[in-house]
Structure 1
Amino acid sequence: MSTPAPNAKRRLTAPAARARKGGVPLVMVTAYSATMARLVDPAVDMILVGDSLAMVEHGMPSTLGAGLDLMIAHGKAVVSASETAMVVVDLPFGAYESGPADAFRAAARVMAEAGCDAVKLEGGTHMAETIRFLSDRGVPVVAHIGLTPQAVNALGGFRSQGHDDAAREKILADARAVAEAGAFAVVVEGVVAPLGKAITEAIDIPTIGIGASAECDGQVLVLEDLLGLTPRAPRFVKRYAELGQAVSQAVGAYADEVRARTFPGEEHTYKPRG
């Protein structure tokens, strides 16, 4: 077996990510294309190819329309354009809930065909058996608890979670269950801040917050939200840029020049040879 070059770039691994518990926070963003993956890769630790692509990229009303083939296609694009960030791909709705064996078949396809480093699945206590099954067979798993978008219909919408004692205890139990089952990290979404902190203190794997708490071991946001490319964003999003306005202005300027026949200019056209 050949020895890697001394300066060869290596992706963050599941054991290395888990070892960041309580240390330097993990930085995760979503990306669904080679272009975006290439841009974010140097700055982040983890890229999530989330099933949110159904809404962000394909205009669907929820994440439920993202099928396995779609997730694999986007995952492959992201893997091809990134070098050091760990690439995590969501298992889509319907691909894993029926049992561990079906989940393994779906995860095996995603990892083999997309070439990603890990998969993510939603659910707490009731998914512990599946997480254990996958982990025991060499599939690194990121769990996802709290507000779980694939359960949007059962939850009655995209609503924050953990507002009463019973809800808080259930989500804490979910966190403990996925950690004990072998997940190497857990996304905690849309929970009240004290609960996000309590979960982080209660388990020995990194928590990656999205609308949870600054006390989590990392954070994740949808890239288009933080760049200002979406018309609306949840309360927990901070806009770090307003690229949507810049895109509209640039395309508007292009359209004006085309209609005025000032583009293309002479410098943009080819001259005959000889």
Structure 2
Amino acid sequence: MNTEQLDRIHTGQGFIAALDQSGGSTPKALLQYGIKEDRYSGDEEMYTMVHSMRTRIIQSPAFNREHILGAILFENTMDRLIDGQYTADYLWEQKGVVPFLKIDQGLAAPQHGVQLMKPIPALNDLLKRAVSKHIFGTKMRSVIHEANPEGIRQVVEQQFELARQIAAFGLVPIIEPEVDILSKDKQESEQLLKWELAARLSELPDGVKVMLKLSIPTEDNLYSELAADPHVVRIVALSGGYTQAEANEKLARQHGVIASFSRALSQGLSDQQTEEAFNSTLAASIQAIYEASIT
């Protein structure tokens, strides 16, 4: 574990950029960016285009260490180059931004009001590659749709089981049990989730560090006690489908919680924009998300 990177994530001012749309969500991310499916053929062309989009974001002067602490990458992005350097090395050495890797393989079918992660075959091999590519931490997502105690227990149990495996490689896992913002009993789900997270954190061995990536809670500052846990490096918030303005407004009320936005970060960016328009749109988004993150 890189102690300089750990200190930056733990105490730094700023937020984490989520640049990790993967196979299933890549066409949607490209469409939002103004690239329709008729402009590419097959996965390789699609991933090349999305890497170009991410490279444009990362290389923008607006994407800088003054505002951004870390960036979450998709496996395909980790394996590609920016200006002759692997993406993680470029992020840290050129931008001062800490690299994370999304490791989950998507969601299983709904059961008990939740969606667990699908099995992750060859996870140890992926973690070894992540270490060799100088990745600092990982991210894995489950989804909670209903306030079902058994389902929420299973989500948190699965997350922490994998977190221990990840931590054994010296990586810092981001545990992401997303509560669906459209859930009818979102607030009740969040209370159940908080209890389960607190219980699992108390069972972690000394020295194991994790991060929590959570939906912005209905009850402001619900997770403040978890942020004080010695195992927790940082709590970050996902935008969860809110617009950037909505997400920022809600996040600003959560003291000590920083953003880890994906769609809300890239909102308004387009393949057709001039560099000047692209950079100014990105700069405005980054500034607004930064300000909501430092409250």
TM-score by length of 1: 0.55
CA distance in structure 2 between the aligned counterparts of 1:116 and 1:77, rounded to whole angstroms? 10
Give unmatched runs, 5+ long, in structure 2: 20-50, 108-116, 143-155, 240-249, 278-295
How far apart are residue 199 of structure 1 and its match? 1.4
Match of 2:55 in 1: 34
Give unmatched runs, 5+ long, in structure 1: 1-9, 52-67, 148-154, 230-242, 252-274
CA distance in structure 1 between the aligned counterparts of 2:129 and 2:182, rounded to whole angstroms? 32
Q: RMSD of the TM alignment (CA)?
A: 3.8
- Aligned residue for 1:244, secondary structure, equals coil
Match of 2:98 in 1: 86
Higher strand share: 2
How far apart are residue 177 of structure 1 and its match? 5.2
Match of 1:151 in 2: none
Report the identity percentage.
Answer: 7
Q: Which amino acid aligns with 1:17?
A: I
Q: 1:121 aligns with which of 131, 134, 140?
A: 140
- Aligned residue for 2:65, secondary structure, equals coil
Superposed CA deviations along residues 42-98 of structure 1, whole A, max 9, x for unmatched, are 33111122x5xxxxxxxxxxxxxxxx5x25335875324322110111103169854
Match of 1:47 in 2: 71
Larger RCO: 1 or 2 (CA < 8 Å, sep 6+): 2
Match of 1:228 in 2: 267
- Aligned residue for 1:35, secondary structure, equals helix
Q: Contact 2:172/2:211 (CA < 8 Å) preserved in 1?
A: no
Superposed CA deviations along residues 206-228 of structure 1, whole A, max 9, x for unmatched, are 21112464324311222x64353
CA distance in structure 1 between the aligned counterparts of 2:182 and 2:176, rounded to whole angstroms? 15
Q: Which amino acid aligns with 2:56?
A: T
Q: Which amino acid aligns with 1:41?
A: N
How far apart are residue 122 of structure 1 and its match? 2.5
Alignment map for 1:192-211 (pairs within 5 Å): 192-194=218-220, 197-203=221-227, 204=229, 205=232, 206-211=234-239
How far apart are residue 174 of structure 1 and its match? 4.3
Moved more, 131-140 or 168-177: 168-177
Q: How many aligned positions are there?
A: 192
CA distance change for structure 1 residues 174 and 228 in 2, over 3 Å: closer, same or farther?
same
Q: Contact 2:141/2:178 (CA < 8 Å) preserved in 1?
A: no
Q: Contact 1:103/1:130 (CA < 8 Å) preserved in 2?
A: no
Q: Contact 2:8/2:69 (CA < 8 Å) preserved in 1?
A: no
Superposed CA deviations along residues 151-194 of structure 1, whole A, max 9, x for unmatched, are xxxx7xx73586243x1233113432564443432111254243
Runs (4+) of structure 1 exceeding 6 A deviation are: 248-251
- Aligned residue for 2:270, secondary structure, equals helix
